[in-house]
């Protein structure tokens, strides 16, 4: 959606295909980092977006059995966007679609499910899709960009296989109601316990709670029932105890199989993959949306000038996008792999998962906290919009 908006604002005709009739999904990333808010500010969209209901997470913290560590204190960043805006992704996408629809060069087709790639020789020249009435259409394109996520249909059609980097954890997500007297600073945090942890994200009327389990361990967890989950959450997040009885059935949960993987090559002639379609980012750190939007900015910077020439997009342009973005993705995924390895080691030994002791002391130094906040808020090597 962001790439479509950016290209259309640069007067490059673009069509976005969305397979469903709306954007409503459960348990997708809901965090808009300061980088994203800054970008929206440059586009003149931030004020209107932030007029919609959202929560401001002023910090990201890690709570261990012995200490609370502020991993990122966004309040130390320059205003106006010294926070992470927590907003349901469906609300954000609906807003972006409405704003993009005001641009003459933009079109979105809802209920359009891609079923095949259209190729001319060895080059992708469009897609075939089925509409909500099950009619088939071909849509030609100077460039096809796959933004269809970790289970990318387009990636499968192009016979491109990502390399797994070794995720060891799955997450069981569920929602609990948000009460008026809940801690106001708990909107983004991780609570570590013996051999597992709980992730918490705030919403308008509820909390998203992520309970970790070993990869492939869902059948054993289901056999043990919900009580061990309720007990662990109550131990680590006591102020949620008064509503844990509302988690009454596994039907109230959603299993998210964590993946960390990356394509060796993000493109083929006429085809580019970005976001989770090219590199799956784990939910750890909550920066999947940030990485995807930065991919969109980098792609727009390179694609818009090439599209204006009315010449075929050559492989050098697509390779330049990957060259720019891949070091950042490698760095982010390397951090996530280290966390996965620590979680696996903790499960094997039965000890509590805990960040290194020195981090507790470093996090008390304002300059370190400011640097950590900026790193989390913007990521390494954030691209600047150049359109």
Q: Which one has a higher pLDDT value, 311 or 8?
A: 8
pLDDT confidence bin for 97, thresholds 50/70/90: very high
Side by side, which strands form the sheet with 123-130? 113-120, 123-130, 136-140
Separation CA 37–CA 102 (nearest Å): 20
Least confident of 68-82, 298-312, 315-329: 68-82
* Assigned CATH for 2-53+88-163+260-338: 3.50.50.60
Whole-prediction pTM value? Answer: 0.91
pLDDT at 352: 63
Q: What is the pLDDT of residue 318?
A: 98
Q: What is the pLDDT of residue 363?
A: 65
CB atoms within 10 A of CB 220: 10
Per-residue pLDDT, averaged over 196-220, amounts to 89
pLDDT in tens, 312-332: 899 999 999 999 999 999 999
Question: Poorest-confidence range of 10-24, 99-113, 278-292, 324-338?
Answer: 278-292
Residue 202's pLDDT is: 87
Confidence of residue 79 (pLDDT cuts 50, 70, 90): confident
Instruction: Quickly count: other Cβ atoms within 10 Å of residue 49's Cβ.
Output: 21
What distance in Å separates the CA atoms of residue 186 and residue 295, rounded to the nearest whole number? Answer: 29
CB contact burial 85-105 (16+ within 10 A = b; e otherwise): bbbbbebbbbbbbebbeebee
How many angstroms separate the CA atoms of 127 and 91, rounded?
27
pLDDT digits (tens, 9 = 90+) for 132-183: 999 999 999 999 999 999 999 999 999 999 999 988 889 999 999 999 999 9
Q: What is the pLDDT of residue 115?
A: 98
- The pLDDT of residue 61: 81
Residues of the chain with pLDDT > 90: what percent?
67
pLDDT for 360 beyond 70: no
What single string gives the DSSP state of each residue in 148-192?
--TT-HHHHHTT--PEE----EEEEEEEEE--TTS-TT-SEEEEE
At residue 185, the pLDDT reads: 84
Record the tokens describing residue 176, joined without a space.
């609990």
- Strand 271-273 relative to strand 144-146, pairing: parallel
Q: Where are the alpha helices (DSSP H) in the chain?
A: 2-9, 34-42, 46-50, 89-100, 153-157, 218-224, 227-236, 288-308, 315-349, 357-362, 366-378
pLDDT in tens, 215-249: 889 999 999 999 999 999 999 999 999 999 999 99
Nearby residues of 263 by Cβ (< 8 Å), 6 or more positions away? 155, 160, 161, 162, 163, 273, 278, 279
| Cα angle 113, 288, 331; round to 5 | 130
More confident call, 353 vs 316: 316
pLDDT of residue 28: 61
* pLDDT on residue 168: 84
Listed by start position, the domains of the chain span 2-53+88-163+260-338
The C-alpha atoms of residue 379 and residue 255 are separated, in whole angstroms, by: 27
Smallest Cα–Cα separation from 127: which of 98, 152, 105? 152
pLDDT for 156 equals 98
């Amino acid at each position: 959606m962001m790439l479509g908006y950016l290209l259309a604002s640069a007067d490059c005709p673009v069509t976005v295909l969305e397979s469903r009739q709306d954007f409503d999904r459960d348990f997708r990333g809901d965090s808009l980092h300061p980088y994203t808010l800054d970008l929206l500010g440059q586009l003149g969209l931030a004020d209107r977006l932030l007029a919609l209901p959202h929560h401001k997470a002023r910090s990201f913290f890690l709570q261990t059995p012995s200490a609370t560590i502020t991993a990122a204190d966004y309040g130390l960043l320059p205003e106006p966007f010294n926070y992470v805006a927590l907003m349901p992704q469906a609300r954000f996408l609906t807003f972006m679609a409405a704003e993009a629809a005001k641009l003459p060069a933009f079109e979105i087709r809802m209920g359009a499910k891609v079923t095949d790639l259209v190729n001319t020789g060895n080059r992708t020249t469009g897609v075939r899709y089925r509409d909500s009435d099950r009619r088939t259409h071909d849509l030609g394109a100077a460039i096809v960009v796959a933004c269809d996520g970790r289970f990318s249909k387009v990636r499968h059609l192009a016979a491109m296989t990502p390399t797994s980097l070794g995720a060891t954890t799955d997450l069981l997500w569920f929602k609990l109601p948000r009460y008026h007297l809940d801690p106001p600073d708990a909107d983004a945090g991780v609570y570590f316990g013996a051999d597992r942890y709980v992730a918490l994200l705030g919403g308008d009327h509820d909390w998203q709670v992520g309970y970790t389990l070993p990869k492939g361990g869902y059948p054993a967890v289901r056999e043990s029932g919900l009580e061990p989950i309720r007990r662990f959450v109550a131990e680590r997040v006591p102020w949620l105890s008064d509503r844990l009885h509302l988690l009454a059935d596994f039907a109230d949960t959603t299993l998210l199989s964590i993946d960390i993987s990356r394509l060796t090559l993000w493109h083929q002639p006429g085809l580019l993959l970005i976001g989770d379609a090219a590199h799956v980012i784990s939910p750890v750190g909550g920066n999947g949306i940030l990485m995807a939007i930065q991919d969109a900015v980098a792609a727009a910077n390179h694609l818009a000038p090439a599209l204006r020439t009315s010449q075929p997009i050559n492989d050098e342009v697509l390779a330049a996008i990957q060259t720019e973005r891949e070091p950042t993705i490698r760095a982010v995924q390397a951090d996530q792999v280290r966390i996965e390895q620590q979680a696996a080691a903790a499960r094997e030994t039965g000890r509590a998962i805990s960040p290194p002791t020195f981090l507790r002391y470093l996090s008390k130094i304002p300059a370190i906290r400011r640097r950590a906040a900026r790193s989390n808020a913007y990521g390494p090597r954030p691209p600047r919009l150049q359109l």
